[in-house]
Chain A
Amino acid sequence: MVQISLPKNSKVEKGKYFQDKTGSKNIRKVNVYRWDPSTEENPRIDTYEVDMDNCPSKVLDLLNKIKNEIDPSLAYRRSCAHGVCGSCAMNMDGKNGLACTTPHAEITGDINIYPLPHLKVKRDLIGDLDGLYKQYQSIEPWLKNNSTKDKEEIIQSKKEREKLDGAYECIMCACCSTSCPSYWWNGDKYLGPAVLLQAYRWIVDSRDEERKERLKKVADELKLYRCHTILNCTSACPKGLNPAKAIAEIKKMLAIANV
């Protein structure tokens, strides 16, 4: 169901204000979404004044600086810090992306940082992605090939391999799925751009023998056709991929194929 407003317990309140203690003249205000599961309180926005003279270029550096120097209680996921693992996906300045590849210089005004949209918050900037992972599992993202023996290699031509370009690079950071209004309103049934891009990746893989079954599986009013080409996914993808195009390709294949 479409619910525009947030539930009562999710209304965001004004939080603490952390004044700068370094005396720096190059200060930026950073507003960060906070929620502590150990309290009964609503989520709040804490504001930090950060000395930008001694801060590296990315939003993740900014968060690290806050955590190390101002407020150690801040929680967020991060790991590789160069856009490969997809852990630090969050909403910065109203747009999803990876904190480690988003320069804070590109954001004008105060820097607003929220968790990925429309997820159950576990703590601060950490959203619960279990639902998405279950959906990912449901498309069975592994090679299904029974006719080839284990020790035999499966030949793939360059052209066939090229079909996977733009699909295999996905790091499952969930930036796209959580940017999609259709996924917000129907996330329990609609698979969302991230999972559909992966479904596409296995459908077009020449080595896979269950193309038809895979197509049949996603051919569903709710699972697939909730995509209304809003294109939030493509504009959010930190790896420059195009999930919307992949979804369109699946729709096209279904229109042509006899499944």
Chain B
Amino acid sequence: MDNKNPLSPHIQIYQWHISSLVSISHRITGIINIIAITLICIWSSLLIFGSDNYHFINLFLNSLLGKFIVLSLTWSFSFQILSEIRHLIMDLGYGYELKTTKITGLLVIFGSILLTILIYLIGKNYI
């Protein structure tokens, strides 16, 4: 077999569209969430070893970087949840028409941003 032939360009040239973007974001946010949940578990287990740890992490989460991370995670969780609902509906065999996938994809993207804002406002006791 002639395997020396070049491979034609793929991801470098292929056009992105809503559902491919949502799909790849679903994977990325999934990985981020797993790491985040692990870190949260470690944080809670650290409480066993005294209040110093709690204060330290609390201080970090209240810094500007900490706040940014928490807000980003809120978004990635929101995105994951909404995208997962979209996947569940699709697993039932619905919503495969191109127009529908576009609409549900956009709903996931904008919905995740809205949900993040909502959670933020609830957390701040504004609502």
Say yes or no: B17 contacts A91, CB within 8 Å.
Answer: no
Instruction: Give the residue of A4, A42, A121 whose beta carbon is less than 8 angstroms from that of B11.
Output: A4
Say yes or no: A91 contacts B96, CB within 8 Å.
Answer: no
Bound Cα distance A118, B10 (Å): 5
What string of 1s and 0s marks CB contacts (under 8 Å) between A124-136 and chain B? 0001100000000
Bound Cα distance A91, B10 (Å): 9
Q: What number of residue pairs across chains A and B have CB atoms under 8 A from each other?
A: 107
Say yes or no: A91 contacts B14, CB within 8 Å.
Answer: yes
- Interface size of B as a range: 20 to 34
Bound Cα distance A18, B90 (Å): 48
Name the B residues within 8 Å of A43 (CB-CB): 6
Instruction: Give the residue of A35, A115, A116, A245 whose beta carbon is less than 8 angstroms from that of B93.
Output: A245
Q: Which of A98-128 contact B (CB under 8 A)?
A: 112, 114-122, 127-128
Q: Which of A209-259 contact B (CB under 8 A)?
A: 228-232, 234-235, 242, 244-245, 248-249, 251-252
Is B12 an interface residue when CB atoms closer than 8 A count as contact? yes
What string of 1s and 0s marks CB contacts (under 8 Å) between B70-86 and chain A? 00000000000000000
B interface with A by C-beta (< 8 Å) = 2-15, 17, 19-20, 23-24, 27, 87, 90-93, 96-98, 101
A interface with B by C-beta (< 8 Å) = 4, 6-7, 9-10, 12, 33, 35, 37, 42-43, 91, 93-95, 112, 114-122, 127-128, 179, 181, 184, 228-232, 234-235, 242, 244-245, 248-249, 251-252
